[in-house]
Each structure stands twice: as structure tokens, then as C-alpha cells.
């Protein structure tokens, strides 16, 4: 291997270390996991499952906080603020839970949606 090819290969390996490179790459990975377009290997499926479980934590936490906030009779918050915060917490939690559920289901299925067969 020539020195120039070796140097080029080294630069390519280091390229993903910079934040400007990792952000688009992480978005692509999460997109694959959420959409489930690409078939996943066993290690990728395990990673998707762990990532999905991590994404579910804010959703579950938000649901618990909304329920506790809504049913707390001794709250020092005004009632109008509780009525405003509870639906906001529920909506944000629902978003987190939706994304995490898609990740978990795609990790269990292995990704790669089945395309409907269209006869020609």
C-alpha cells in the first residue's frame, strides 16, 4: 500500500470523529431504526432495542409526571397551570413513546419492510 493511500485511509477513518460529521450520521442511523427500511443484523437489532428502551424513558417519565401532577390535591401550583401542563406533558410523552415503540418493534422484526409485490 502506498503512503498516499494509507494517509487517505487514515483520514477517512478519522472523519466521523468531528461533530459536523457525526450529527448527520447519527440522524441516518436513527432514521433507519425508526423507519425500519434496512434489514438489521443481530448486533444492530440489539442496539436498536437498547436505543428504543432509552427513548422510552422520557415518555414513561412524562406520563408518570402528568398523572402525579393531575391527581395531586396538595399541589402549590394554581389549578389553571396544572390544567395547562398536564396535556403538554402527555403530548410530549406520547411522541417519545411513539418513536421508542417503532424502534423496539423494528428491532424485534429485524427491519426491512416487506414491499408489496406488484405484477408487471
Q: What is the DSSP string of 78-96?
A: -HHHHHHHHHHHHHHHHHH
Q: For residue 117, tell me if it sits in a domain.
A: no
Rounded to whole angstroms, the Cα distance separating 61 from 100 reads 13
Read off the pTM: 0.67
- Top pLDDT among 18 and 95 is at 95
Q: Mean pLDDT of all residues in the chain? A: 82
Average pLDDT over residues 36-65: 89
Cβ-based neighbour number of residue 4 at 10 Å: 8
Q: For residue 22, tell me if it sits in a domain.
A: yes
Report pLDDT for 31.
Answer: 76
C-alpha 11: how far from chain center: 29
Q: For residue 114, tell me if it sits in a domain.
A: no
Report pLDDT for 61.
Answer: 94
For residue 117, what pLDDT band results from cuts at 50, 70 and 90? low
Report pLDDT for 44.
Answer: 85
Cβ-based neighbour number of residue 48 at 10 Å: 27
Rounded to whole angstroms, the Cα distance separating 48 from 31 reads 11
Report pLDDT for 36.
Answer: 81
Q: For residue 43, tell me if it sits in a domain.
A: yes
**H or E segment and range at residue 67:** helix 42-71
Name the domain count of the chain: 1
Report pLDDT for 40.
Answer: 82
Look up the domain containing 18 and give its range. Answer: 3-109
Q: For residue 76, tell me if it sits in a domain.
A: yes
What would the grid cell of residue 52 be?
A: 428504543
Q: For residue 116, tell me if it sits in a domain.
A: no
Amino acid at each position: 500500500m502506498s503512503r498516499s493511500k494509507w494517509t487517505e485511509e487514515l483520514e477517512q477513518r478519522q472523519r466521523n470523529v468531528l461533530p459536523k460529521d457525526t450529527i448527520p450520521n447519527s440522524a441516518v442511523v436513527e432514521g433507519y431504526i425508526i423507519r425500519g427500511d434496512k434489514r438489521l443484523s443481530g448486533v444492530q437489532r440489539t442496539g436498536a432495542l437498547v436505543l428504543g428502551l432509552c427513548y422510552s424513558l422520557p415518555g414513561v417519565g412524562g406520563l408518570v409526571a402528568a398523572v402525579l401532577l393531575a391527581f395531586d390535591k396538595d399541589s402549590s401550583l394554581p389549578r389553571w397551570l396544572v390544567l395547562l401542563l398536564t396535556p403538554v406533558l402527555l403530548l410530549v410523552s406520547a411522541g417519545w413513546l411513539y418513536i421508542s415503540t417503532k424502534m423496539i418493534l423494528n428491532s424485534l422484526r429485524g427491519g426491512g419492510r416487506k414491499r408489496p409485490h406488484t405484477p408487471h
